[in-house]
């Protein structure tokens, strides 16, 4: 498990110690974007049948100078495909706000908890506005990100950066929500942040309103860096969980 990963206990239906997963967006050269679920730094991409089937309705929005295009993602055996790709200056954001609630305990009390995964793909570091509940956006300079929570800068929060080889670094946002990293290698970087909001509430569900006691937000941002040293190779592909 890489240092990028966060512990999301029980919601994945895995035995302890719990595996840590996130969604991120990949865009192979010349191809449309794909939402993945797993652990980027461990070369783990979950599959269907398997953990991809826990998702309810992942959707994505292409943000460009021409406007915004929002679509539902299409599930395949290895991810959720999108009918578009981000061009220069564009971004893609995605999330699944209907991921099933999972049970927990707080001081002996049974609780219902909500995991809200989200992701962003960027093609450059020009400043962008947040669109996700928890959102890492480019902050104007290579390697600099700004973290927003519900539209406001989020200070003193850990952000992790990982490459395909499993190399990882951690930093903390400053008072303005900004954190910076060096990008020594060419290739794909995925940065991640997470937090738990313990404010109870209610969300719409397939069978009516669903009450929850806390929300675990996890968000990533993907960037393909064109400069630097040749990238370290990824490790062997990890087997998806069934």
Contact (Cβ atoms closer than 8 angstroms) between residue 123 and residue 90: yes
> Would you tell me how many other CB atoms lie within 10 Å of the CB of residue 65?
7
Contacts of 30 (CB under 8 A, 6+ apart): none
Range 3-15 average pLDDT? 36
DSSP annotation string for 52-87: GGG-S--EEEEEETTEEEEEEPEE-SSSEE-S----
Return the SS3 of 51: helix
Find the angle CA(225)-CA(122)-CA(100) to the nearest 5 degrees.
120
Per residue in 125-136, pLDDT (tens digit) is 999 999 999 999
CA distances from 52 to 49, 55, 72, 76, 115 (A): 7, 6, 15, 9, 14
Indicate the pLDDT class of residue 19, thresholds 50, 70 and 90: very low
Half-sphere exposure of 170 (CA within 13 A, CB side): 10
Contact (Cβ atoms closer than 8 angstroms) between residue 73 and residue 117: no
Per residue in 169-197, pLDDT (tens digit) is 999 999 999 999 999 999 999 999 999 99
Q: Mean pLDDT, the chain, as a whole number?
A: 91
In the prediction, which pLDDT does 18 show? 31
In the prediction, which pLDDT does 110 show? 92
Contact (Cβ atoms closer than 8 angstroms) between residue 120 and residue 25: yes
Checking if the pLDDT of 228 tops 50, the result is yes
Closest to 132 in 3D by CA, of 108, 184, 106, 97: 97
Per residue in 100-155, pLDDT (tens digit) is 999 998 888 899 999 999 999 999 999 999 999 999 999 999 999 999 999 999 99
In the prediction, which pLDDT does 20 show? 67
> Would you tell me how many other CB atoms lie within 10 Å of the CB of residue 19?
21
Checking if the pLDDT of 7 tops 60, the result is no
Bridge partner residues of 109 (DSSP): 106
Closest to 125 in 3D by CA, of 140, 135, 145, 146: 140
Per residue in 203-223, pLDDT (tens digit) is 998 889 999 999 999 999 999
Per residue in 39-98, pLDDT (tens digit) is 999 999 999 999 999 999 999 999 999 999 999 999 999 999 999 999 999 999 999 999
In the prediction, which pLDDT does 206 show? 82
In the prediction, which pLDDT does 50 show? 97
């Amino acid at each position: 498990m890489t240092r990028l990963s966060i512990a999301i206990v029980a919601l994945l239906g895995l035995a302890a110690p719990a595996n840590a997963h996130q969604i991120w967006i990949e865009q192979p050269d010349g191809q449309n974007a794909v939402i993945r679920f797993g652990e980027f730094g461990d070369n783990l991409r979950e599959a269907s049948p398997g953990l991809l089937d826990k998702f309810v309705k992942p959707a994505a929005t292409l943000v460009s100078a021409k406007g915004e295009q929002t679509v539902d993602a299409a599930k395949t055996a290895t991810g959720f495909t999108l009918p578009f790709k981000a061009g220069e200056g564009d971004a893609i954001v995605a999330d699944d706000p209907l991921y099933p609630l999972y049970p927990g305990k707080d001081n002996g009390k049974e609780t219902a908890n909500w995991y809200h995964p989200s992701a962003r793909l960027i093609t450059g570091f020009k400043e962008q506005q947040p669109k996700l509940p928890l959102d890492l956006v480019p902050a104007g300079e290579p390697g600099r990100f700004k973290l927003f929570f519900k539209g406001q800068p989020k200070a003193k929060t850990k952000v992790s950066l990982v490459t395909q080889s499993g190399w990882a670094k951690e930093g903390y946002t400053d008072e303005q929500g900004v954190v910076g990293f060096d990008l020594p290698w060419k290739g794909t970087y995925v940065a991640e942040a997470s937090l738990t909001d313990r404010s109870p509430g209610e969300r719409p569900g397939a069978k009516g309103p669903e009450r929850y006691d806390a929300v675990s937000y996890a968000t990533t941002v993907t960037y393909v860096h064109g400069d630097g040293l040749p990238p370290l190779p990824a490790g062997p592909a990890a087997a998806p969980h069934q």
